[in-house]
Amino acid sequence: MVRVKESESEPASSSSAGKLEEEVGRVMDQARELHESGASLLWKISNEEQSLRQKAISLESSIRRVRSSINSLISKKLLDPEFARKLEEDLQRASSILTDGEAAAFLPAEAQGRFLRMFLGPINVRASRKEVQLKVKEEYNSYRVSITSLLLFSNFYSLIVFWFAYEYIL
C-alpha cells in the first residue's frame, strides 16, 4: 500500500487517497465481474457436457439396439445377409466414431483391471483431445520407468545385503 508523506499538504493527500480508493474499488468490481463470468461459464460448460454425455450414452444404446435387431432379422432369415453385412459395417463405423472420436470422453468409463484400480483408484482415464491423450501416455510411461528403476534398485540392494549377510555368517 502506498503511504502519503506527512509533509505533503492535506488536500493533496486526501485527493490522492481518494483516487487510490476509487482505483481499488474499480479493481474489486472487475475481480467480482470476472469471478461471476467464470462461474457462469463453468455452469454452462457443465450443463452442455451433461447433455453431450446423455446423447453419447443414448447413441451407444441405439447402436446396440439396432445391431441386435439386425442379428434377430438375420436369424429369422428376413434380411438379406449381404445387406445386413453393409448395415453392420455402417454400424461399426458409427461405433468407431463414437468410441475413438471426441465423443469418447462423454461415455462412461470402461471397467478397469484390479491392478489399475489398486494403484490409481476408480478414475476415468479417458481424454478427449489427442494432445491430452499423448500427455497422459507420456506421464504414465515416465511413471512406469521410475517405478521399474526403483524396484530394480531395491531388488539389487536386497541381493547385496543378503550376500554380505551370508558371507558374514559363514
Q: Are residues 121 and 102 in the same domain?
A: no
Q: Is residue 22 part of a domain?
A: yes
* Confidence check: pLDDT of 10 > 60: no
Give the pLDDT mean for 120-142: 71
Q: What is the arithmetic mean of pLDDT over 22-50?
A: 90
Is residue 158 in a domain?
Answer: yes
Q: How confident is the model at residue 131 (pLDDT cuts 50, 70, 90)?
A: confident
Residues 156 and 88 in one domain: no
Q: Has residue 93 got a pLDDT over 50?
A: yes
User: Are 18 and 102 contained in the same domain?
Assistant: yes
Asked whether the predicted pLDDT for residue 99 surpasses 90, the reply is no
Say which residue, 152 or 118, is predicted with more confidence: 152
Q: Say yes or no: 70 and 21 in one domain.
A: yes
Last residue of a domain, one of 106, 138, 154: 106
Domain assignment present for residue 23? The answer is yes
The range of the structural domain enclosing residue 165 comes to: 115-170
Nearest one of 144, 102, 138 to 120, comparing CA atoms: 144
The closest alpha carbon to 123, from 142, 138, 141, 136, belongs to: 136
**Averaged over 132-142, what is the pLDDT?**
81
Residues 53 and 128 in one domain: no
pLDDT over threshold 90, residue 152: yes
| Mean pLDDT, range 1-11, rounded to an integer | 50
